[in-house]
Amino acid sequence: MDVWQLEAQKKMIDFLIGFSEIERIEAKGSTLDPCLLDALSDVDLEIYLSNDPLFNIKEAVEIMPRYFGDVFGYEIQSDNNCDLLRICFENGWRFDLSFINPEAIESQISENTFSDNIESIMNRFWFMASMVAVKLGRKDHLIAAHLALELCQMNIAIQMLVRDNAKGSDIHRFGGGEDVPILHSWTKLNGSNKLRENTSKDNILHILLQAAKQMDTTFASLDTLYKSRTKILVNLLDMFQI
């Protein structure tokens, strides 16, 4: 995969300047030294907003596909007057965008409804899946394994949210003896009854792809318009030469 970051950085800066009133944008990270760039690097920008208390980061995400192609996954972290958007597009472009807004009156990422929570987990799940791919590409099996196992937990978290929504409460003295499908995947690999006993990379890939397939199944059952993303993840793995 060719190094893409300098083109992507310019394109993102142009988009942001057209989207909102910007005081300044500062590049951070590896794009400051192109010699450090490789296909797995992301684009890291700090965006200082100019007196825009109504800036809405989710609106920006909704518009971005017009300029960068479909979003694979993203997560938003909010801290005082800074919103961090970490986003991966289906073409493999990844950005860490810190929106610094001195006029911010409150965080705009409240997740109160069932659908809000589901959407948040869905987008975070697929962004985290892309990070597993990146960590595998950098041969960091420890972090890749940690994130892959967290993806399995997110499958279970979705099941708990669905149960809470169905029962109208998140307090349950007893469960319903529910099946937990993600657990079945741990005993299935190429017809074997146990995880392959050769490399950590193979095992992490197995966990990653099984978590992705199960999440696709779950999301599809919740939203008839949902677009399956496991094949896109496989494409990203190919792009990252994993």
Q: What is the domain-level CATH number for residue 96?
A: 3.30.460.10
Would the CA dihedral through 230, 232, 238, 242 be positive or negative?
negative
pLDDT at residue 237 above 50? yes
**Residue 72 main-chain phi, psi, to 5 deg:** -85, -45
pLDDT band (50, 70, 90) for residue 105:
very low
Q: Do residues 181 and 132 share a domain?
A: yes
pLDDT in tens, 175-230: 666 777 778 876 665 555 555 555 789 889 999 999 999 999 999 999 888 999 99
Do 75 and 135 lie in one domain? The reply is no
Is residue 69 left, alpha or beta, with left meaning phi > 0 and alpha meaning psi from -120 to 50? left
Grade residue 241 by pLDDT with cuts at 50, 70 and 90: confident
Is 106 part of a structural domain of the chain?
A: no
Is residue 105 included in any domain, yes or no? no
> Domain end: 69, 100, 131, which one?
100
Determine the structural domain holding residue 15 and report its residue range.
5-100
Residue 87 Cα distances to 27, 60, 157, angstroms = 16, 12, 22
| Residue corresponding to tokens 């003295």 | 173
**Which of 43, 73, 100 is at the close of a domain?**
100
Q: How many separate domains does the chain show? A: 2
Q: Do 155 and 181 have their domain in common?
A: yes
Give SS3 for 107. Answer: coil
Is residue 133 pLDDT above 50, yes or no? yes
What per-residue confidence (pLDDT) applies to 56?
A: 85
Residue 14 has pLDDT above 70, yes or no: yes
Site of tokens 């300029």: 67
Picking from 100, 130, 151, the residue at the C-terminal end of a domain is 100
Q: In whole angstroms, what is the distance from residue 102 CA to residue 220 CA?
A: 40
Task: Verify that 56 and 152 share a domain, yes or no.
Answer: no
DSSP 20: S
224 and 126 within one domain = yes
pTM: 0.88
Going across the sheet that includes 22-28, the strands are 22-28, 43-49, 94-100, 82-89, 71-79
Q: Has residue 108 been placed in a domain?
A: no
Which H or E element spans position 77? strand 71-79
Task: For residues 160 and 230, state if they share a domain.
Answer: yes
**CB 79, CB 46: distance < 8 Å:** no
Answer yes or no: is 17 within a domain.
yes
Would you say residue 148 has pLDDT above 50? yes
